[in-house]
Structures are given as C-alpha cells and as structure tokens.
Amino acid sequence: MTNTPILKNYCSILLSTFLLMPFFVLAQAGKKSKPVLPSGGYVNEFKKGLLEPASNDTNQYALERKKEIIATLSQEMPVKLLEIPNPPPNFMLAQQIALSDSIFTLYVKNKADKKKLFNEIFGVYPARPGDVKPGTAFLPGTLARVEMYNYAFNLTTVGIVDIFSHKVLSVTHYPQTQPDLPKRLVDLATTIAINSPEVGKALGFKPGLNQAIMSSTRTALNRTKCERSMHLCVAPTFVQGTRALWAIVDLTDNRVVGVRWTNTGEDSLKTPMTERRLQNENIADCFCDKVNQLKKFGWQMDYLLTSSDGLMISNVQYGTKRVLNNAKLVDWHVSYSGTEGFGYSDAVGCPIFSQSAVVATEPPQIFDLVEGDSTVGFVLEQKYFSELWPAPCNYSYSQRYFFYKDGRFRVSCASIGRGCGNNGTYRPVFRIAFAGNQQNFFEWQQQGWKPWAKEGWQLQNSLTQYDKNGSQYRINTNGQDGYYIQPGQGQFKDGGRGDNAYFYVTKNHLDKDEGATDMLTIGPCCNTDYQQGPEKFIDPKPENIQQTDLVLWYVPQMKNDDTPGSKYCWSEAYYEDGIYKIRAYPCFAGPLFVPTKK
C-alpha cells in the first residue's frame, strides 16, 4: 500500500510528536464526599416467563422491526442488506458480491429442514492490511470486508470481497460470535431501553435517547437468553449520580431482559476530551491503512493498528533470528458480577471504520526503556480512550510491547479505568504466534520441564510451580532454542499485582485462519472460568502439538479497586487550581519471554 510524500511526512511528524510522552503515574487520592444514591428502585428482572418466547410488542418500533424480518424471510435470499445514508462507492456492490458466493451464504438456510433463517449484513468496511492474510498485496479501495450475522445460529460470517474482479477472496464462519452492530441496531437497542417500564421504574423517570451510553457494546446476563452471549445482547447504560443502570437488551427477541445497578465511585466529575476526535482520520491513514516498520537495538518488526485487535506486531526479528509471526490484543472482557454474568465485551483498535467504544486517539509511542542509569531496551505503546474518559462508564486501556537489548521481550496491557463499576474484573485476551513450524511446549514441575502432548489450557494460581527464575512455561521454536515464559507475579515494577492468567496452547493449521487476521470479539464478557474465547480453537478431541506450529493465548485477570490507598484499574478526575486533572491507577499484566540460550 502506498502513500504520497506529503502523507508520509505528516505521519512521521505525528509519530515524533508523541515519542516523549510520559508513562502513567500512580497517585494517591484525597478525601471523598459521601455518595448520593439515585431515587430509583431495584427491579426483579427474573420474573416468571423470562426464558419463554417473547410476547407480542405493540410499540411502533417493534412492529416495524417485525415487518423487516417478515419481508426478509419472504425473499429467496433471506438476508437483510445494510443501508446507510449517503453510502460510499461500491457499498451495495460489495454486499451483492458476497451474497453471490455459495460459501458466504452457506448457513442462510437450515440444511436439516431447508427453512430460511433471518440474516443481516452488519458491516461493510474498506479492507485493511490486518483483515487479509499476511503478505497479501492490494491497492487501496479494491477490497472490502463484509460482515453478516445469523440470528438463528448466533453465527458471524466475514467475507473479503474484491470489488473489481467481483470475487470473494476468503470466507470465515465464526460460531457463537457476534460482529459490531450497525448504527440502526444501536438506535433500536436504545429505543427499546428507554421505553422499557423496568428502566423507567429503576431510574424514577423515562430517560431520553441522548442519555444512553455504551449502547453498541455487547453484553451478557445469566439466567436469560443473553447468558454466555447465546443471543445478540447489548447494554445501553444510564449514569445517575454515583451509580449506573444497565439495561440488558436482547436484540434477537427485541426486548429488555434485565436491569442492573453498578457503583461508579464517589467522585464522578466529567471531563470531556472532545479534542481527541481531531486526529482520528490522520491516525487511520498513518497507522491503520499503512504497515509501519521499526528497527531499534537489534530488533526489527512491522506494526499496524488493526480494526479490533489492538496494535499488532508482526515479522518480529532479533538479530538474524525470526522470533514472532505476530502478536496482538484480541479482546477485553469486563465483568461486573461473578454470579449474574453481566458486563461488556469490547475490542480496541482504529478510530474509524470501527464500532469499538475504546479507540486509539493518539499515535503509537516509542520510549527508551531505562533501568538505573542504563538504557536496556525500548517500549512500543498504544493508548486507547473512550471519548469522555475518566467519566463513569468510560474506559481507557494501554498496550505495551517491551523489547530488551539482550533478546528478552514482554507483551503487556493495562486497564486505566474508570469503567462502569467499582467491582469489575478485566480479562484481556492476547494472541501470540511464534515463528517456526517444529515447536514444542513445556510446563515446569518439580521434576523439571514436562512436555505438553495435546492442546489445552491451564490457570495460574497459588499452587502454580515456577522454576528458580519464575518461569512457568517454555516453548522451543527450533531444536533447543526458544523462550522461557514468566507470567506476572507482581515482579515487573509497574504496579501489577499478579496476572492469575489462563494460558492456552492450540495447534495452528496453516490451511485455515486461526486468528491471524483481524478477529471479532471471540468470547463472552462475563465467564469466570476458562471459557474466554481461545478454547474455541481447541478441537473437541485435542490435537497433538509436538513438532508443529503453535499459537499461545494469554488471558490475565485484574480486579479493580477504588479503596483509598489501594486503587487499581481505576482513574478519577479532581479539581485543582481552577482546572480538572486526572489521577490514574493502571493495572498492568502480561508475560515476559526470556531466551533459553543467551
């Protein structure tokens, strides 16, 4: 992909402007005032019949939606096309090309009984380098990414379409997965929420459309059809005082299935950051549509801001040795209840052509990594913000790659708060693919290094065994060459308190897309067990993983805290000298990789 000299020069200026930005500083908060609770009451959402078929709704918006579904099912191809005001060139053509492909439309009807199923095109986007197989060359504007959702099977289909040849280049079906919502469905969810008697009763008044936030972010709720994201569910949220009301909206049945309050903290100052919007298009041009190269201290790599998998590094090399095919941050799962299973499933990435609520509003930053008086390596960091962070129900994340002169590297991330509650657990999902197709994986036990023969997962806990250097795992990438893997135990001096991480090892099939291209949200928000998404890549009968190409998945778990003196995964605004300032208490997590041979 090429750029004009002017754009290249601008991108260089944009990146260099941020190279000296400081790290977040941990701080202690001052005194806080007593919270004022809203007058609205709680609602018993588990009323009789909640899991039964939805009753007929006489609201006009519900009737219109019903008509759309009936009209779509009356067509030979039961797929509702995506229509938007002033569509870009080839917008409808891309959908038509996709629907002409038999693999793309494989599941629009039930093969067992031939019945038509309700399908809907959710998104049509310009394809970016992260959307296609590595090494695929294409000109800007020639490829499009088309996303379709099957309501009956809870299945997402993604096709990469060549506009000029009228061909579908690739198709991937994602079971039990949901794409980003189009604006019309976000608006429908908000309309359902504000017209719900349960929401009005809980708040004490009927809210307006502009009072809902996070309406496009997918969620779950136990003991409903939204549990474990079995239906397409989102959570328009209403902040009132120091609490937030979640309206769990089931867009498969088009109704509110439950409401929940969370405590957002006692100091809910709002500090709009609207100036972040100004750079969105420039960041997309320089870092989303263009692969950048980095060479420093013996390391070289490509890096790219993806649509929803964060900042991806690829073709990573140390000296003459190829180390990683790629590494990226696939998901953020945020749960606000260990028993009722509600929260958000979100992704981070590019600021445009993305439905993510938390996006990159600054260029990637590059720092020298200094220990004592010595420069020991460098850091590549990307920050992501909700527009109104650190106001309640707004989020900020940091993603950092550490590269050391001695060949070590670390993949890490942090929540910077504030989120929608003070009882949240954050579970980011890393995908890490080493170079080499004769890999072997080992776990440390008292007797030494024990090889893993099959795909599997394991949880880091109080009984976990480490070698004398703190390594829990080892991967051999070529003979005895490889890396020890040291999970977070609070040893990295970045405020992290230990990762308590789920670790997965899966076989990488070279003839399939095992997550190398930009992925959808792969797991529900609120599972408290190993079912975070990577387990979907473990076969029902786990495959042999010896002497083969592997993928590592790492899911740390960080619990937020707003207790004075021990704040974690938290942020707050405060007033000082006539202006509002921000204190941040990040919770960093992620493993360190140490070469087995110096």
pLDDT in single tens digits along all 598 residues of the chain: 444 444 444 465 445 544 433 333 333 333 333 333 333 322 333 333 333 455 556 688 888 999 999 999 999 999 999 999 989 889 999 999 999 999 999 999 999 999 999 999 999 999 988 888 877 888 888 999 999 999 999 999 999 999 999 999 999 999 888 888 999 999 999 999 999 999 999 999 999 999 998 888 878 776 677 876 688 889 999 998 889 999 999 998 888 988 999 988 876 454 444 444 445 678 888 898 899 999 999 999 999 999 889 999 999 999 999 999 999 999 999 999 776 778 888 889 988 766 566 889 889 999 999 999 999 999 999 999 987 888 888 899 999 999 999 999 999 999 998 889 999 999 999 999 999 999 999 999 988 999 999 999 999 999 999 999 999 999 999 878 999 999 999 999 999 999 999 999 999 998 888 888 888 888 888 999 999 999 999 989 999 999 999 999 999 999 999 999 999 999 988 888 777 788 999 999 999 999 998 6
Write phi, then psi, for 240 (nearest 5 degrees). Answer: -140, 110
415: nearest Cα among 585, 220, 213, 242: 585
DSSP one-letter code for 279: G
Q: Which helix (H) or strand (E) holds 63?
A: helix 60-73
DSSP one-letter code for 133: -
The residues pairing with 398 across neighbouring beta strands, listed in sequence order, are 383, 414
What angle separates helix 183-194 from helix 60-73, to the nearest 10 degrees? 140
User: How many angstroms separate the CA atoms of 352 and 276, rounded?
Assistant: 13
Just give the CATH number of 75-171: 3.10.450
Q: Which helix (H) or strand (E) holds 203?
A: helix 197-203
Q: At CB < 8 A and 24+ separation, what contacts does 56-61 make?
A: 57/254, 57/255, 59/195, 61/188, 61/191, 61/192, 61/195
- The residues, ordered by sequence, that sit 6+ positions from 137 with a Cβ below 8 Å of its Cβ are none
User: How many angstroms separate the CA atoms of 306 and 375, rounded?
Assistant: 30
- The residues, ordered by sequence, that sit 6+ positions from 16 with a Cβ below 8 Å of its Cβ are none
Predicted pLDDT of residue 356: 62
Predicted pLDDT of residue 228: 66
| CATH 2.70.98 domain position(s) in the chain | 5-25+273-595
pTM, rounded to two decimals: 0.83
> Length of the chain, please?
598
Tens-place pLDDT, residues 74-92 = 999 999 999 999 898 899 9
User: How many angstroms separate the CA atoms of 550 and 437, rounded?
Assistant: 8
- The residues, ordered by sequence, that sit 6+ positions from 421 with a Cβ below 8 Å of its Cβ are 244, 262, 263, 264, 336, 560
User: What separation in angstroms does the CA of 208 have from each of 190, 199, 213, 256, 263?
Assistant: 9, 11, 11, 16, 21
Tens-place pLDDT, residues 184-205 = 999 999 999 999 999 999 999 9
Residue with tokens 């009301």: 245
Just give the CATH number of 5-25+273-595: 2.70.98
Predicted pLDDT of residue 342: 84
Write phi, then psi, for 7 (nearest 5 degrees). Answer: -65, -40
DSSP one-letter code for 81: P
| CATH 3.10.450 domain position(s) in the chain | 75-171, 183-263
Just give the CATH number of 183-263: 3.10.450
Q: Return the amino acid letter for 370.
A: V
